[in-house]
Structure 1
């Protein structure tokens, strides 16, 4: 037998004797706090949701796989990449003085990856794996379905109805006043009323990229007989910079709510709204099966939304939202499933948001388009438009009985990049439970904005 084998055998036998002579306890495995306190101390430190030792091991493994060129599109590998990168960016944003008070974690998690991709500072293999995963899984819609359905099913029924009824006036007033003020601002900086209104103001409030900028520019192309790609490239910078401004506004509103609590509902729209914080008396009896069943409810409602989109053209997230509200109001979902839906919502909002924002930055937030909008006239016009929209939401929301902070945040979502923008804005404001109302502002508000813009352009052309 070799010296190494003899040494290994002796060490194993010594270790076994020590374990055999260890004081016994009632539990199968007994660890004294003094022996494990240091390790537990480090395991309790986290980067996002990832224990620090696990984070280090995952980073080492990913580094080795990248070096060997063995990064694959397996779901486990992609979860590791997105979690490590997303929570690293969020942690960095949370530690930068000044930036952390204006939505630093969200801004860094979304736009730093975009910058790194543009300057080719991320490994090409990693970037391509993230893009392939994004395109093949459409994970954004799973996130939206889980958050929207989970938050709706967790709300009080009366508060839900009152909330939807009360958001329309602040949203309508904010849209009209922001359009007027933004157009006047653009004219003051020499951009021209036509260009400012149709190529800056309308794209900001059109509802994002996929369901906003694309149908908007298709309508423009038909009326003006211009290439749709040319028009799309012209308005995308306004959409992205408007979304960034809304993120900052939401973060500042969150800080304002912490300082002046009378203006904030902490995620509740009005005083009678118990919102996502409401709990049933038997919430402790919710099982894993209830949580899984609630997840299937969310997926089922999204599939019905997709069918509605194919049959009548209504956007799938909007159809899903209406169906979830209908299920809630008709008592179609049992209390235990509602508690399961609450857990689904909390899981996705706490664990998936920053990895998702990192994927967004890598795939659909082009850095060069964002930089193209950085002219003094464009920046001031866009900022004035979004701030006006948000401010009107604050005061009109207060007038109709909403908490002013929440009313302003819902209006800010009207200037976001669709579902992606809603995730970023509400995360920055720490109010993901407002997702159903944000979707209404973004989707329906965007559809109405596009319709009005195309009618106006066709009339004056």
Structure 2
């Protein structure tokens, strides 16, 4: 009876007038998440504001600009043959706006809007908070703690082996062991720009009595190109995982790890209300504020502190099942709707194209690629020996060579494994802090 009714409704729809059915079909054709007619409207409005000489700076206009820019760039990447399988959408959404900003092809009024909104709102951390809290609260409790304990082993092994291999390759290419290690290998694994390149340049400046600005200009290209290499390789591993499914858990770090809510991935789980979803959102924000207070009091990175608080909440059953389900919905919303606009914002406002290009000489390129490949290959091998999914272990190690939190987003987007964000943050923040600390200590002893 239900089938007959549905068939009759479909027939009636096909016979109905052109309006509104043809329009409805057009509304279901989307650029990213944006219905095509709305995309055209937004594009026309943005052009109109630019032509008038004033682009409003309120949040609504900024969101529209980022959505149009991010999803446009991602669509180009998704439609290109071959490279679409290795993370082209994430790469395009990050590096096209970087080039457009550098070449002054992005209108100054639009660029100003994007830069001001990105830096004043700091919505990168809202994204990370929602992804971390949602993914942790939807994990299996037992597997969660096992995963956090295990991930340090492939991470540590990868760091040591990559340091040795990268330094040897750079030395053989004539860069010198000292320069290769401290100015190429270490910056790659230092945790990005804010948490890695800047503290390194300050420390190097103090120890070597050199200009901090000059040193920063030397280490930054390695951070940028290392992150780009990791994005490409993570996208390639996603492609490999589709060919050899036994090597991947599709975002699960080890066997037996499951989310209770994956079946409802494309909708809202039964029993979850809008109030639950709103409560989950404010819970994520509250936990991030706890992380900020930990940073203020103890100097511990806010995302990592938030991560551990979320783990404690999960393991102690401090969050109700309904709130856990709602947290998963928040996670899915941000991963679906916010990722590419965020990457566009990062590319336009925080990714200097000239610094990236500066690293493109053959000796630097080979050394950086050798370092990142070794880091990920070691994670793959060690992870497999520990009964972890080797592709997931390699991707988490890839985040150790990423551009901080922004790199984590791009790498996990390219790999289509955003649920690994909690482990990526450990790799980036804790791994990077250890590398910076040990490197500065080693340099002080060698001086």
**Aligning the two structures, in what range does the TM-score lie when normalised by the shorter sequence?**
over 0.9
Match of 1:111 in 2: 95
Deviations 1:334-359 (A, max 9, x none): 00000110000000000000000000
| Counterpart-to-counterpart distance in 1, 2:259 and 2:404 | 23
What does residue range 435-454 of structure 1 map to in structure 2 within 5 Å? 435-454=421-440
Corresponding residue to 2:127 among 143, 148, 153: 143
Q: Distance in 2 between matches of 1:274 and 1:439?
A: 20
- 1:45 matched to 2:56: no
How many residues align? The count is 431
Quote how far apart the aligned CAs of 1:99 are: 2.3
Match of 1:230 in 2: 214
Q: 1:407 aligns with which of 387, 393, 397?
A: 393
Distance 2:25 2:68 in 1: 20
Measured after TM superposition, the shift of residue 228 of structure 1 is: 1.3
Residues 189-231 of structure 1 show CA distances to partners (whole Å, capped at 9, x for unaligned) of 1000000000000000000011111111111111111121111
Partner of 1:76: 60
Q: Which residue of 1 aligns with 2:158?
A: 174
Contact 2:90–2:410 (Cα < 8 Å) also in 1: yes
The alignment partner of 1:241 has SS state of helix
Equivalent residue for 1:122, pick from 106, 123, 131: 106
Give the TM-score of the pair, scaled to structure 1: 0.92
Question: Contact 1:156/1:278 (CA < 8 Å) preserved in 2?
Answer: no
1: distance between equivalents of 2:153 and 2:296?
A: 30
Q: Secondary structure at the match of 1:457?
A: helix
Q: Which residue of 2 aligns with 1:188?
A: 172
Identify unmatched segments of 5+ residues in structure 2.
Answer: 1-11
1:210-229 → structure 2 map (5 Å cutoff): 210-229=194-213
Select the residue among 309, 313, 317 that pairs with 2:295.
309
Q: Indicate whether 1:417 and 2:399 are aligned.
A: no
> Residues 121-163 of structure 1: CA distance to partner in whole angstroms, max 9, x if unpaired?
1100100111111111001011001101111111110111111
Structure ID, larger Rg: 1
Native 8 Å contact 1:90 1:106 kept in 2: yes
How far, CA to CA, are the matches of 1:277 and 1:235 in structure 2?
A: 43
Distance, in Å, in 1 between the alignment partners of 2:261 and 2:212 is 45
1-side partners of 2:259 and 2:241: how far apart?
17
Say whether the 8 Å CA contact 2:101–2:111 is kept in structure 1.
Answer: yes
Q: 2:353 aligns with which of 363, 367, 383?
A: 367
Indicate which of 252, 264, 274 corresponds to 1:268.
252
Q: Do the aligned partners of 2:400 and 2:431 also contact (CA within 8 Å) in 1?
A: yes
Q: Name stretches of at least 5 consecutive residues in structure 1 with no aligned partner.
A: 1-29
> What is the SS of the residue equivalent to 1:285?
coil
Could you tell me the TM-score, scaled by structure 2's length? 0.94
Partner residue of 2:331? 345
- Counterpart of 2:226 in structure 1 is 242
- For 1:34, which of 16, 26, 47 is the aligned residue? 16
State the partner residue of 2:9: none
8 Å Cα contact 2:261-2:269 kept in structure 1:
no
Judging changes above 3 Å, is the alpha-carbon distance between structure 1 residues 119 and 276 closer, same or farther for their aligned structure 2 residues?
A: farther
1:11 corresponds to: none
Question: 1:184 Cα shift?
Answer: 0.4
In 2, Cα distance between equivalents of 1:411 and 1:199: 20
2:4 aligns to what?
A: none
8 Å CA contact 2:376–2:394 kept in 1: the answer is yes
Are residues 1:396 and 2:382 paired?
A: yes
Corresponding residue for 2:304?
Answer: 318
1:389-413 per-position Cα deviation (integer Å, ceiling 9, x unaligned) = 0011111000011001101101111
Counterparts of 1:120 and 1:349, CA distance in 2: 30
| Alignment correspondent of 2:72 | 88
**1:276 Cα shift?**
7.1
Query: Aligned partners of 1:460 and 1:315: how far apart in 2?
Result: 29
Change in 2 beyond 3 A, CA 1:39/1:423: same
Q: CA–CA distance in 2 between the matches of 1:33 and 1:178?
A: 64
Instruction: Give deviations 1:231-289, integer Å, cap 9, x for gaps.
Output: 11110100000000000110010000000000010111111100475569x93010000
Distance (Å, rounded) in 1 between the aligned partners of 2:87 and 2:262: 27
RMSD: 1.4
Task: Report whether the alignment pairs 1:132 with 2:108.
Answer: no
Is the Cα contact below 8 Å between 1:179 and 1:201 reproduced in 2?
yes
